A and B are shown apart, each in its own frame.
Chain A
């Protein structure tokens, strides 16, 4: 029973390029959350999605960031025109309606913008 799968584990992008981060939730989980961890800081909520719907994107930067969770396939966090300040670890978590033990987190994608 695979856990939450994120890929790639490490991603290097030059300033101005696009970064696409993927998250496959645990089997049976229909809720996906994205968090960002800046160096030496805690995790900050970005967005909460269910299949084909964005439920809460109050933590997403207003520009360049978008997220989707299509009917088929993984959830995608997309960052356009990356800047150095986007360098961080991006974690995905999933849960189901029946899950009362918090989320299951993936191992994260570490984005480095050079």
Chain B
């Protein structure tokens, strides 16, 4: 079956540091890949997505590239801010872009950014 593995947290960084959160996946076919962010007490918000190999998703300074050869979708940001403190989830959808496909999530990585 499908699975998503994220690097274990928590991750603590100083403001303006470089961020990498690793994500690898196992899936049949050609899944779409997503990063979601969850702020304390809130639901998940879509951060970025990629739907095919070599696609790069980007939003708010975050980016991730769909690497089929390494089955990875690592999240990066060049300079983190205190407001980026949240839990980040990597996820895949095995139905590609079509609706009606359930998401498989990683365990989440807690990021804390200190001033």
Do A and B form a real pair?
A: yes
B-binding residues in A (CB < 8 A):
4, 6, 31, 33, 35, 41-45, 48, 55-56, 59, 91, 93, 95-108
Determine which of B36, B41, B46, B102 lies in contact with A48 in the assembled complex, contact meaning CB atoms within 8 Å.
B102
Q: How far is the CA of A6 from the CA of B43 in the complex (A)?
A: 10
Closest residue on chain B to residue A95 by CB atoms: B99
A42 lies within 8 A of B42 (CB): no
Q: Is the CB of A42 within 8 A of B108?
A: yes
Q: Are B89 and A102 in contact (CB under 8 A)?
A: no
Residues 65-107 of B, flagged 1 when their CB comes within 8 A of A and 0 if not, give 0000000000000000000000001000100010110111111
A103 contacts B43, CB within 8 Å? no
| B104 lies within 8 A of A45 (CB) | yes
Q: With CB as the reference atom, state the residue of chain B lying closest to A30.
A: B99
Q: How many residues of B sit at the interface, in one of the four size bands?
A: 20 to 34
Q: Which residues of B contact A104 (CB under 8 A)?
A: 46
Is B34 among interface residues, defined by CB-CB distance under 8 A? yes
Judge whether A91 and B46 touch: CB under 8 Å.
no
* Chain A residues whose C-beta falls within 8 Å of the C-beta of B108 in the assembled complex: 41-42
Chain B residues with CB below 8 A from A35, complex form: 103, 105
Chain B residues within an 8 Å CB radius of A108:
42-43
Residue interface bits B12-47, CB-to-A below 8 A is 1, else 0 = 000000000000000000001010100001111110
The answer to whether B103 and A103 touch across the interface, beta carbons within 8 angstroms, is yes
Contact present for B107 and A100 (CB under 8 Å):
no
- A101–chain B nearest beta-carbon distance, Å: 6
Closest residue to A107 on the B side, CB-wise?
A: B43
Most buried by B among A43, A91, A104: A43
Chain A positions within 8 Å of B45 at CB level: 105
Are A105 and B44 in contact, CB atoms less than 8 angstroms apart?
A: yes
Whether A43 pairs with B99 at a CB distance below 8 angstroms is no
Query: A102 and B43 in contact (CB under 8 A), knowing A41-B107, A42-B105?
Result: no
Q: Which residues of A contact B34 (CB under 8 A)?
A: 102
* Inter-chain contact B99/A31, CB cutoff 8 Å: yes
